[in-house]
Amino acid sequence: MAIATVNPTTGQTLKTYTPFDQMALETCLAQAQAAFSAYRTTSLKQRARWLHAVADLLESNKQAYGQLMTLEMGKPLKSAIAEVSKCAWVCRFYADNAASFLQDVPAVTDASQSFVRYQPLGVVLAVMPWNFPFWQVFRFAAPTLMAGNVALLKHASNVPQCALAIADIFHKAGLPEDVFQTLLVGADAVAELLADERVKAATLTGSEPAGAALAATAGQHIKPTLLELGGTDPFIVMPSADLEAAITTAVTARLLNNGQSCIAAKRFILHAAIAEPFLTGLTAKFKALKVGDPNLGTTDIGPLATPQIRDELAAQVTACVQQGAKVLVGGALASCLAALPAALRQGNFYPPTILADIPPGTPADQEEFFGPVALTFQVDSFEAAVQLANGTPLGLGASAWTQSAEECDRFVNELEAGAVFINGLVKSDPRLPFGGIKRSGYGRELGREGILAFVNAKTVWIQ
C-alpha cells in the first residue's frame, strides 16, 4: 500500500514516502531494544517531566498540528485543534498519576512480606488508525511510556506526516533517542514485526479484520495484545428524556469527526412516544449543517478520509434504500458534490444523512456505517430497545436517555457494551477505562487499567 498524503478535500496527492526496507526495520528494532535497556531504569519523576514537556509542545503548536490532521484526513480544523489539546491532557494525566497507579500493591499472606510490583514488558508495537491520528497514538503512548516501555508506531498509511510529527514531538521533548519511533511501513509488515522476539506486545485500533489478523499472529508467538475495534453504538431515547438535549447531543454524537468514529452513535433507537418530535428536530439540525472545506471555521462536515470509505458508505445507504428505508435528509451524493465549489468536487464528501423505517435484513442490522449517516429505529418498550441495542456482534459504547432511575439502572446492567453513558454522548476520557466487548475488541486503554495493559504484574513473596 502506498504511503502518501492525499488531501481528502481536493483529492490531490501532496507527498509520498518510500516504505522502510528490511535493513531499516532491523535498525529500528535494534535501537528500540537498546533504548529499553536504559529507559526502563529511568525514574517515574523523570518520565513525568518528559511527558509534561510533550504536553507543552502540543499545546504551544496545536494550530499547526491541527492543520496537519485536517490536511491528511479531512476533519474540521476546530475539531483537530481540540484533539491536540486532548493529547496534552492525557500526557499530563499519566505524568501526574503514574506513580500511584504503579505503586506496589501489598497482600497479606503467609510470607513476611508479599506484594505485586508492576514492571514494563519492553518494546510495544502500536498499529494505529487515521481517524484520530494524534489522539489514538497519544492515548497509547502516554501510559505505555510512563510504565517504562518503549514504542514502535505503525500508523495508517494515509497519515504519514502526522506519524512523523508525533515522533518528532517526543524527540523535541527530550525523551531518550529511540524510545518512540515511527515506522513507515504498510500493513504487510505487521506480521513480521510481531514475530520478532524483541517485540513483546502489540495494540491495535482499527477494523475487525485487522484486529483478528494481528491477534492471530500474536497468538502464534504467545504475545499479549489489546484491540479496540469497530462499533455500532446505540443511542436510545425514552419518553422521559430531555428531548431537546437528546436531539442536540445526537447531532454531535453522530457527526463528530465527520462521522468517522468507532464510538459515534450509529443507531438511534427511539421509543414510539417521542419518535416523531425527535426525528423532526434531528432532521432540521442535519439540514442546517454546512458541508465544505474543513479549514474554514464555518464548516461542520468535511470530507471522508478516502474515496473507498465514501464509496462504501454510499453503497450501504443505497442498499438500505433499495430495500425500503426512507431518506429523511441527505443521501444524494451527486447533489452534495454539485453544491460545493468546483475546487472541492474531487474531494471525498458525503452529505449528512438520516434513514428511517429501515426494514430487517439491510446493512443497518449488523454493519458499521463509518460516516455522517444516522440510522433510526422505533420501538414500543424498554425491552425492545435493549434487545435491538444488543442485537449486533459489536459492543463498544452505548448512550441512553431517560429521567427514570429504574430505567437508568437497567440500562447500565443490561446494555452489552464496554461503556454506557446515561444522558450524554459516549466519549473517551483519560480518567476512565476505554474499550469494548464482543467483536469490538478486548482490553482497556486509559484510566488505571490503561497503564497496566503492558506491564508484568509480578508477584513478590519474601520470608
221 and 289 in a common domain: no
Q: What is the pLDDT of residue 2?
A: 84
Q: What is the pLDDT of residue 1?
A: 63
107, pLDDT greater than 90: yes
201 and 159 in a common domain: yes
Name the residue range of residue 118's domain. 3-229+440-462
354 and 297 in a common domain: yes
Q: What is the pLDDT of residue 312?
A: 98
203 and 239 in a common domain: no
195 and 103 in a common domain: yes
Catalytic hit among 262, 320, 336, 408: 262
Above pLDDT 70, what percent of the chain? 100
Q: What is the pLDDT of residue 299?
A: 97
Q: Is residue 401 part of a domain?
A: yes
Mean of the per-residue pLDDT values for the chain?
98
198 and 110 in a common domain: yes
Q: What is the spatial distance between Cα 132 and Cα 139, in angstroms, rounded to a whole number?
A: 11
DSSP secondary structure code for residue 364 in this structure:
G
Cell readout for 463 is 520470608
456 and 384 in a common domain: no
Q: What is the pLDDT of residue 331?
A: 95
Q: What is the pLDDT of residues 303-319, one digit of tens each?
A: 999 999 999 999 999 99
3-state secondary structure at position 446: coil
Average the pLDDT over 263-280 and give the result: 98
**419-422 β-sheet, strand order:** 326-329, 353-356, 373-379, 265-271, 233-237, 397-401, 419-422
What are the residues facing 460 on neighbouring strands? 115
- Count the domains in the chain: 2
Catalytic hit among 72, 83, 228, 445: 228
22, pLDDT greater than 90: yes
The CB density around residue 198, as the number of other CB atoms within 10 Å, is 17
- Asked about 228 being catalytic, the answer comes back as yes
12 and 157 in a common domain: yes
Q: What is the spatial distance between Cα 415 and Cα 111, in angstroms, rounded to a whole number?
A: 43
Average the pLDDT over 28-43 and give the result: 98
CATH classification at residue 355: 3.40.309.10
Q: What is the pLDDT of residues 402-450, one digit of tens each?
A: 999 999 999 999 999 999 999 999 999 999 999 999 999 999 999 999 9
Alpha helices (H) in 307-426, listed in sequence order: 307-322, 333-338, 382-389, 405-414
354, pLDDT greater than 70: yes
77 and 100 in a common domain: yes
Helix 44-60 vs helix 160-172: angle between axes, to the nearest 10 degrees? 130
- Asked about 262 being catalytic, the answer comes back as yes
